[in-house]
Amino acid sequence: QVQLVESGGGLVQSGGSLRLSCAGSGRSFTLLPMGWFRRTPGNKRELVAIKFGLDQNKNDILYADSVKGRFTISRDYAKDTVVLQMNNLKPGDTAVYYCAAAAPDANWANPDANWANVAYWGPGTQVTVSS
Amino acid at 9: G
Q: How far from 58 is each of 32, 45, 74, 86, CA to CA, in Å?
A: 11, 25, 10, 21
98 pLDDT more than 70: yes
3-class SS of residue 93: helix
How far, in Å, CA of 32 to CA of 51, rounded?
9
Q: Give per-residue pLDDT as tens, 10-69.
A: 999 999 999 999 999 999 999 999 999 999 999 999 999 999 988 776 568 999 999 999
pLDDT of residue 122: 98
